[in-house]
Amino acid sequence: MMLSLKLAYRNLIGAGLRTWLNVFVLSIVYILIIWHYGVIDGWNHQAKKDMQNWEVGNGQYWNKNYDPYDFFTLEESHATFPEVFKKAIKKGIVAPVLINQGTIYPDGRIQSMLLKGINPDQKLLALPTAALNIESEEIPVIIGRRMARSCKLNEGDITTIRWRDANGTFDATEVKVVKIFNCNVPNVDAGQIWVAIKDLQEMMQSPDEATLFIIGKNFKTNETVSGWNYKSLDFLMTEMNEMIKMKKVGGSVFYIILLLLAMLAVFDTQVLSIFRRQKEIGTYIAMGMTRRQVVSLFTVEGAMHAILAVIVGAIYGIPFLLWQIKTGFTMPAGTDDMGITVAETIFPVYGIGLIVTTVILVFIITTIVSYLPARKISKMNPTEAIKGKIQ
What confidence score (pLDDT) does residue 189 get?
86
Instruction: Average the pLDDT over 228-255 and give the result.
Output: 83
Residue 263 has a pLDDT of: 79
Sheet strands (E) in the chain: 60-63, 79-80, 94-105, 111-118, 139-144, 158-164, 170-181, 192-196, 209-210, 212-215, 228-231, 329-330, 345-346
Query: Any idea where the domains of the chain sit in the sequence?
Result: 2-52+239-387, 60-231
Give the pTM.
Answer: 0.75
Q: Does position 276 have pLDDT exceeding 70, yes or no?
A: no
What is the per-residue pLDDT for 305?
79
Provide the pLDDT for residue 261: 78
Give 171-215 pLDDT, tens digit per residue: 999 999 999 998 888 888 888 999 999 999 999 998 989 999 999
Q: Which amino acid is at 48?
A: K
CA distance 285 to 273: 17
* Range with the poorest average pLDDT among 80-84, 178-182, 375-379: 375-379
140 versus 345: the higher-pLDDT residue is 140
Mean pLDDT (the chain, rounded): 82
pLDDT at 382: 59
Q: In this predicted structure, what is the pLDDT of residue 273?
A: 67
More confident residue, 139 or 26: 139
Close Cβ partners of 372 (under 8 Å, ≥ 6 residues apart): 267, 270
Q: Is 103 exposed, middle or buried (0-12, 13-18, 19+ CB in 10 A)?
A: middle
Model confidence pLDDT, tens digit, residues 290-347: 767 777 777 777 778 788 888 888 999 999 999 988 888 777 665 565 556 666 778 8
Residues forming beta bridges with residue 213, ordered by sequence position:
61, 96
Greater confidence, 231 or 264?
A: 231
Q: Which helix (DSSP H) or strand (DSSP E) does residue 136 occupy?
A: none
User: 338, 47 in Cβ contact below 8 A?
Assistant: no
Question: Average pLDDT for residues 35-51, to the nearest whole number?
Answer: 86
Residue of higher predicted confidence among 30 and 387:
30
